Amino acid sequence: MKIHPIFKSILKYSLVGSVVYTLLLLGTTLLGYNPLGREYSPLQAVFVPFVSGACIAHFYYKEKGRVRLLELGIFGLGVAFFSSLLYSVVFYFFLGLNPGLVKDYITEANDFLEENKEVYIRFSGEEEYEIAKSNLGKTSNGTILIDDLLKKLLIGFPFTILFLLLFFAMPNYFRKKNDHGKE
């Protein structure tokens, strides 16, 4: 069974993307921040389109512009999906090795709810506030893992498509010089 070269490239670039996410996770942890915190989690989700965008540009450059928009779209979304999925496996083991992170996350989320109690109740009601507080105690590694993966995909997919469209909307001058300056 022959595998299309674009799918081999998707897997190769996805591995690179997951390594980038893992380095970001380790760097954040080594700097003393909780990687599950409100400041970090959205930041990592924003990296999805940048990683897939860089992979799109490199793949286009490597293929010397012989790639159509649809192929690049499949490639970019494939990289965004598989790099997020591969990273989720690493993230799951990371959470298993650091059980205190989930407890710190629950404490931080509980403090955040307490600080913003009036606002939450005003917009959602007292009953929803109590449900949210009780659900925090049920947070597990799997819940956080699925939340992280969904954030990456829901933020990554639309922005990857946007990057792809911007890449093709660029003047031809920038896209045609992919053979090391030879025209």
pLDDT digits (tens, 9 = 90+) for 35-93: 877 666 666 667 777 777 777 777 777 776 677 777 878 888 888 899 889 998 998 99
pLDDT at 173 over 50: no
What is the identity of the amino acid at 70? L
Question: How far is 166 from 2, CA to CA, in rounded Å?
Answer: 32
CA distances from 12 to 7, 80, 86 (A): 9, 12, 11
* Whether pLDDT at 183 is above 50: no
Which residue from 31, 53, 72, 60 is spatially nearest to 155, judged by alpha carbons? 53
Number of separate domains in the chain: 1
- Among the listed ranges 95-99, 126-130, 171-175, which one has the minimum average pLDDT value? 171-175
Summary mean pLDDT of the chain: 80
Scanning the chain, the segments in alpha helix (DSSP H) are: 5-30, 40-62, 69-97, 99-115, 117-124, 126-136, 141-169, 172-176
Residue 134 lies in a domain: no
Dig out the tokens for 156 from the structure: 């990554």
pLDDT average, residue stretch 12-41: 82
Residue-range definition of the domain harbouring residue 11: 5-98+141-176
Note the pTM of the prediction, 2 decimals: 0.76
As a whole number of angstroms, the distance between CA 175 and CA 164 comes to 12
In a domain, 119, yes or no: no
Is residue 117 assigned to a domain? no
